[in-house]
Amino acid sequence: IFCAGGTQEELLGILEKKIRFTDLEFLFRGLLECPVPVISAMQGHALGGGLILGLYGDCLILAEERLYGANFMKYGFTPGMGATNIVRERFGALLANEMLFTAHSFHGGELKARGATCRVVRKEEVIPTAFHLARELAEKPRQSLVELKTCLAGRILREFPAVLEDELQMHEVTFAQPEVRDRILNKFGQ
């Protein structure tokens, strides 16, 4: 597993308004604010918040055989963490819409066949591919990398406050539904 996202307890904490996904904003925002490019080498499954975390990398490498999904709607609540923007940014609008609406998980090879433009390689090649890419980046002048990273990530960061506000408003509505608690309690991990 690359990252499985929130725990059942964390999801219930959001539902009960004890926590908000924005309480951990530094996790996903930090990848954008890192001064140099971040490589997300997702050699394992990545679901929900775990997928979203990985998508904040500047360069993505997925494994053909692993599952990647934005499974929020499986539990009946809408995405958070800027997912409504970053999934579209990384996978394209139509594929992102399908992922977000259906909560379907896709194997990396299927994402590649559907037009995802990130690198998709055999699972045993994810880390070597990431190291090769890292060496390529390390050959570039650091200040040039910093300037380009600031420009590219800055576009996403500028949209961030409005996207998070939209997602928080959706959470107010969707987490208030009685069936969401039931889905979190009974469908979690299935």
Q: 3-class secondary structure for 28-73? A: HHHHHHCCCCCEEEECCCEECHHHHHHHCCCEEEEECCCEEECHHH
| Percentage helix, strand, coil for the chain under 3-state DSSP, each rounded to 5 | 60, 10, 25
Mean pLDDT of 118-141: 98
User: For residue 190, what pLDDT is reported?
Assistant: 65
Half-sphere exposure at residue 16, Cβ-oriented, CA atoms within 13 angstroms:
8
Q: What is the pLDDT of residue 15?
A: 87
Mean pLDDT of the chain: 93
3 state DSSP class of 92: coil
- Give the whole-number percent of the chain exceeding pLDDT 70: 98
Per-residue model confidence (pLDDT) at position 82: 94
Highest mean pLDDT among 20-24, 58-62, 158-162: 58-62
Strands 59-63 and 119-121: parallel
Q: Quick check: pTM over 0.85?
A: yes
State the average pLDDT over residues 160-165. Answer: 92
Q: CA-CA distance, 177 to 126, in Å (whole number)?
A: 40
pLDDT at 25 over 80: no
User: Which residues are known catalytic residues?
Assistant: 171
Mean pLDDT, range 117-123, rounded to an integer: 95
